[in-house]
């Protein structure tokens, strides 16, 4: 009897916390498809606000997707080999480099953006281009790719695989491409999803680095809440959720698959 009461209280507490987190998001989504939020659902359901968001902010959505994919490409090309090198060449220098790579995780996005502005803000064309935001996103997300790949390397005994391929006469690049990368695919995929999700949703760093011509989805979302009617801003939130939630579900699924193994 006592165990049932404890379980019921735990379940009730979990439901309350879940409702506290979910209800605001649900109300925001509802506002984005309601003709008049203040009159409620009885005013009717419409997609006109979603269409208006695409008319006004389609550029920010496409820019965020392009920057996220560009960030993913750079972190894959640089992060996966870096993780391999750090894992294989384990030592004091490797640990120092790893700490430097992961340092942006401990630095607030605004401070990181300020550092980029002070260092490279004087390069006018670079400062005004999408590459400036891309550089910030790469610095911010690189630790998550490196950490994810190094974690999977630790679980598959990379050194034994590398030595086995070397004994068969495979060159270093062939060992990396044909043996190491396929075996590390789960970690690379998890890191990739994390990089894309973080890049799409990053606001603080992007807000400091953007210009009026280089707005991304989170910056456009903030602008819509500041300048547009509630329904339009909520429709923008709906679009943001549609883009982010599948990535979060995929990350959770990959994490569960990794735990099962």
Residue 257's pLDDT is what?
Answer: 64
pLDDT at 258: 55
| 138-189 per-position pLDDT tens digit | 999 999 999 888 888 888 777 777 777 777 777 777 788 888 888 888 888 8
Residue 94 belongs to a domain? yes
Residue 134 confidence class, pLDDT cut points 50, 70, 90 = very high
pLDDT surpasses 60 at 126: yes
pLDDT for res 136:
92
Residue 117 domain flag? yes
Structure token digits, residue 216: 């991304």
Q: Is 235:53 a contact under the CB 8 Å cutoff?
A: yes
Contact residues for 76 (Cβ-Cβ < 8 A; gap 6+): 145, 188, 192
Rounded Cα distance between 119 and 138, Å, is 16
Query: Residue 205: pLDDT above 60?
Result: yes
Q: What percent of the chain has pLDDT over 70?
A: 95
Task: Read off the pLDDT of residues 249-258 as tens digits, 9 standing for 90 and up.
Answer: 777 776 666 5
Specify if 32 maps to a domain. no
Q: Quick check: is 35 in a domain?
A: no
User: Has residue 54 been placed in a domain?
Assistant: yes
Residue 260, pLDDT score: 54
Q: Is residue 24 predicted with pLDDT exceeding 70?
A: yes
Within a domain: 70: yes
Count of domains in the chain? 1
Residue 224 to residue 202: CA distance in whole angstroms:
16
pTM, whole model, 2 decimals? 0.81
Predicted pLDDT at 179: 82
Q: Give the pLDDT of residue 4.
A: 79
pLDDT digits 0-9 by tens, 85-105: 888 777 788 788 888 888 888
The answer to whether 88 and 157 have CB atoms below 8 angstroms apart is: no
Question: Structural domain of residue 113, as residue ranges?
Answer: 49-260
Closest CA to 179 of 166, 192, 193: 166
Q: Which of 36-40, 54-58, 132-136, 217-221 has the highest mean pLDDT?
A: 132-136
pLDDT of residue 19: 85
Distance, in Å, from the CA atom of 132 to the CA atom of 64, rounded to the nearest integer, reads 13
CATH number at residue 137: 1.10.3720.10
For residue 143, being part of any structural domain is answered with yes
| The pLDDT of residue 220 | 83
Residue 17 lies in a domain: no
In this structure, what DSSP letter does residue 42 have?
G
Mean pLDDT (the chain) is 83
């Amino acid at each position: 009897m006592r165990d049932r009461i404890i379980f019921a209280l735990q379940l009730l507490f979990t439901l309350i916390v879940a409702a506290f987190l979910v209800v605001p998001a649900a109300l925001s989504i509802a506002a984005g498809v309601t003709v008049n939020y203040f009159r409620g659902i009885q005013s009717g359901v419409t997609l006109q606000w979603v269409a208006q968001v695409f008319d006004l902010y389609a550029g920010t959505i496409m820019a965020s997707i392009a920057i996220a994919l560009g960030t993913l490409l750079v972190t894959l090309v640089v992060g996966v080999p870096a993780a391999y090198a750090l894992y294989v060449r384990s030592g004091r220098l490797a640990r120092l480099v790893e700490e430097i790579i992961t340092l942006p995780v401990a630095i607030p996005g605004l401070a990181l953006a300020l550092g980029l502005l002070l260092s490279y803000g004087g390069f006018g064309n670079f400062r005004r281009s999408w590459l400036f935001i891309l550089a910030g996103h790469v610095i911010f997300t690189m630790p998550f790719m490196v950490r994810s790949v190094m974690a999977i390397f630790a679980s598959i005994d990379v050194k034994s695989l590398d030595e086995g391929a070397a004994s068969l006469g495979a060159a270093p690049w062939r060992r990396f491409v044909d043996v190491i990368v396929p075996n590390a695919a789960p970690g690379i995929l998890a890191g990739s999803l994390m990089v894309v999700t973080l890049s799409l949703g990053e606001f603080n760093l992007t807000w400091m680095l953007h210009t009026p011509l280089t707005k991304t989805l989170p910056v456009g979302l903030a602008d819509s809440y500041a300048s547009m009617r509630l329904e339009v801003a909520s429709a923008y939130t709906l679009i943001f959720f549609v883009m982010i939630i599948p990535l979060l579900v995929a990350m959770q699924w990959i994490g569960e698959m990794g735990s099962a193994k």
